[in-house]
Amino acid sequence: MNPLRIVLGALALVIAVATTVACSPDERALWERWSHAEPIAAQQELAKRTPAEISSDAPLLTPDQFAGLAAHVAEVEQLTGCARYDRWIDQAGLPAHFHAVMRRESTCVPTAHNRSGASGLLQLMPGWIGSCVAALGAAWAGLFDALSNILCAAKVVYPRQGGGAWSTW
């Protein structure tokens, strides 16, 4: 995977959140923290916003919403490994048994790799890369990127093969 493409993809996400959301500096910083802690949930919430809301100078969150989200983000930022990835699996819409798949296949290590070529948290085969790149676009950062691996499984592999792609299950 081209390192420049990874950096540009990450930069595009940060720029999209930071520059398209017209909000206070504190709100902008919170959106950025949230996009790192829970990228799927943050992106889903941003997608709910209308163009008028996004381009307005008015804050997107009420003070109570801001305080609630700030507390939530602080809590999520404390999660590590399996607990953080479990949230992403749920937010991506994968069935509950994928928590066990992740633990069995990679022991929650995003850089896990086995001799068959399966890689990442959910041990996806390299043959899926082209389809994942097409489905995820700039969000694709490679099989060893935890978010890309989960999103590829949710948007490409599972819809096409169901649980059969993980034959040990």
Q: Where are the domains of the chain?
A: 3-77, 81-162
Query: What's the pTM?
Result: 0.75
Q: What are phi and psi of 51, to 5 degrees?
A: -55, -35
For residues 113 and 73, give the distance between their C-alpha atoms in angstroms, rounded to a whole number. Answer: 31
How many helices (H) and strands (E) the chain has is answered by: 10, 0
Q: Give the pLDDT of the chain (169 residues) as one tens digit per residue.
A: 444 445 445 444 444 444 444 567 888 889 899 998 999 998 888 888 888 877 776 777 888 999 999 999 999 999 988 999 999 999 999 999 999 999 999 999 999 999 999 999 999 999 999 999 999 998 899 999 999 999 999 999 999 998 888 865 4
CATH 1.10.530.10: does it fit domain 81-162? yes
